[in-house]
Amino acid sequence: MNKKWQIYEANENKIKELENNYQLNRLLATVLVNRNITQKEDIRLFLEPTRKDFHDPFLMIDMEKAVKRIIQAIEQQEKVTIYGDYDVDGITSITVLKSFLKDRGLETSTYIPNRLEEGYGLNKDAIEKIAEQGCQLMITVDCGISAVEEIEYANSFKMDTIITDHHEAGNNLPKAMAVIDNKRKDSNYPFRELAGVGVVFKVIQAISLKLKLKEEEYLKYLDIVSIGTISDIVPLIDENRVIAKLGLMLVAQTKNKGLRSIIQSSGYTKVDSNSISFGIAPRINACGRMGKAEEALKLLLSENIEEVTELTKRLNAYNCARQETEKNIFESAIKQIKAEHLENNNAIIVGGKQWHHGVIGIVSSKITEMYFKPSILLSFEENGIGKGSGRSIPGFDLHEALMECSDIIEKFGGHSMAVGITLKKENLEKFKKELEQIATNSHIEQIMPIIQIDSKIELKDINKEMVESLKKLEPFGEGNRMPVFLFKNLKIDSIRALSEGKHLKLTLKDNNYIIDAIGFNIGNLAEEYRIGDKIDLAGVLEINHFNGIDNLQINIKDVMKSV
């Protein structure tokens, strides 16, 4: 697949200014300039945020109302239920709010809808059960902003509701006692991209300020808040960066027994955004995907080491089951794509009988990444109803495309890059044709994946200390990607495939300078290139720790023969 390399135009004056004024090396200064972080306070906030950098939580609309009502519930020992989502953001949101209120002397109930049976968000059956249990106050976390009817239903039971959410708000807000969401159209809060758990963090910060508690009473939860924030793929800038950067320091020494156990079982020795995204998040998410979200919550709340050990084993088992299910669906989908030559289409739509609803979204992501085309996977039940998930590519709004053929879809939701859909099997072929036509009219074939390159650099100009300095840019994630550099005219000194042909291992030379390179999932290129070939690389600079020896290494993002 052809990829477009886009290199930032170096602003030499600004780069030199940062080098001289702030004692930064050229590599670090270049990346900061590319990210438009050039003012003294912006640099400090990005590289060394502190607990003083959080915004005032009372700038959020309805925060005063919510805090007053929650304090009333604490003082009068009311029956309170926290209603949350089944993903990492939802689980960590419930964990933080329940733990904080418990420390204030209030025991709360929790409710997480079953992903496979109830789906996302509030539903009337759940609300009725909660009301029947005598609940006086229901607080939603990571959901609720679009639950207009459901909140009306809750109101009919004379049950107060507070919504805390971070999803897009419509024109009509639910008639809850308080609706805290920075994506409200009337919001003036300085930052709108908090994760659900970030909003909960602002609530407990506000309660702490109102009750004149010590800062530690809310800051101690930053380990859990950072897990939910990084896992939810929100932009790691502004207040999210403060949460993630400070929170990761606490994760490394966390007192949460469940979190510590997950970290140890994941096999990662270093705690960073990478180990959270690929070690911790999949294990917690696997519970929700397999319909067992309560077990992840129980693990993060447990103080019993035997229970923690047992729950960690179960989380790992759910994750293995999720991986196996995902692998089977992926193989089945690829077989269908190849048999029907769907890779030639502009939009890939595949369906299977009773594919697991909790997993098809991940498989759709993999197919979209593999072919760089929007994809939709549908799981059909015996009754002929298909429920599915879709993923898109930058430049093609999948949600808007579904709106154009909504007359043949039962229901759908989501946003430009990810959708959920329900479709009758009898309408499948018509749907395929209509979506393909929309994708064709959008000239999808002209959209290429873009690799943003920070700078072209020479091997002679880099050293271990310089590469180590790039760690100051962590945590990496959405809105703060890992810096990518361009290396030109490197001579292949050695080349081989690893892991049964899956990965590529190279030694590269430029005059007397030699560097190792690793390319994950591009092992097939070992057949295309030979020792002595000159190549250009786009890649991430890193330090490979192996057998107690540290070596500089390029993690390859793309490669081509030198011209």
Domain boundaries, the chain: 4-47+451-561, 55-246, 252-324, 340-446
Closest C-alpha among 111, 164, 155 to residue 136:
155
Task: Write out pLDDT tens, residues 426-480.
Answer: 999 999 999 999 999 999 888 889 999 999 999 999 999 999 999 999 999 888 9
- Average pLDDT over the chain, rounded to whole? 93
The pLDDT of residue 208 is above 90: yes
pLDDT value at position 378? Answer: 94
**What's the average model confidence in pLDDT over 264-284?**
90
Task: Write out pLDDT tens, residues 403-432.
Answer: 999 899 988 877 788 888 999 999 999 999
Residue type for position 236: L
pLDDT value at position 357? Answer: 82
Nearest-10 Cα torsion for 549, 550, 554, 556: 60
**What's the average model confidence in pLDDT over 229-245?**
93
Handedness of CA 497, 498, 504, 505 (dihedral sign): negative
Q: Which residues pair with 385 in a beta bridge?
A: 424
pLDDT value at position 62? Answer: 97
Q: What is the pTM of this model?
A: 0.89
Instruction: Return the percentage of the chain with pLDDT > 70, whole number.
Output: 100
CA dist 94 and 9 (Å) reads: 45
CA dist 196 and 293 (Å) reads: 17
Closest C-alpha among 445, 538, 442 to residue 484:
538
pLDDT value at position 144? Answer: 92
pLDDT value at position 1? Answer: 60
The answer to whether domain 340-446 has CATH 3.30.70.270 is no
| Three-class DSSP labels, 322-344 | HHHHHHHHHHHHHHHHHHCCHHH
Instruction: Return the percentage of the chain with pLDDT > 90, whole number.
Output: 81
Task: Write out pLDDT tens, residues 147-179.
Answer: 999 999 999 999 999 999 998 888 899 999 999
pLDDT value at position 354? Answer: 83
Of 3.10.20.90, 2.40.50.460, 2.40.160.10, 2.40.10.340, which CATH number belongs to 4-47+451-561?
A: 2.40.50.460
CA distances in angstroms from 32 to 19, 230, 461, listed in the order given:
11, 21, 18
Task: Write out pLDDT tens, residues 518-554.
Answer: 999 899 899 999 999 999 999 999 998 877 788 899 9
The pLDDT of residue 194 is above 80: yes
Handedness of CA 400, 406, 409, 410 (dihedral sign): positive
Q: For residues 168-183, b (16+ Cβ closer than 10 Å) or e, as one string?
A: ebeeebbebbbbbbbb
Among left, alpha and beta (phi > 0; psi -120 to 50; other), residue 142 is left
pLDDT value at position 120? Answer: 78
List, edge to edge, every strand of the sheet that includes 385-391.
Answer: 348-353, 375-380, 385-391, 418-424, 411-414
pLDDT value at position 265? Answer: 92
Topology of the domain comprising 55-246: inorganic pyrophosphatase (n-terminal core) (3.90.1640)
Query: pLDDT class for 192, splitting at 50, 70, 90?
Result: very high
3-state secondary structure of 8: coil
Supply angle C-alpha 457, 463, 465, rounded to 5: 125
Phi, psi dihedrals of residue 18, rounded to the nearest 5°: -70, -40
Same fold, 55-246 and 340-446: no
CB-CB contact of 544 with 537 (8 Å): no
Q: At what angle do helices 257-266 and 222-231 cross, to 10 degrees?
A: 50
The pLDDT of residue 268 is above 90: no
Neighbours of 83 (CB within 10 A): 30
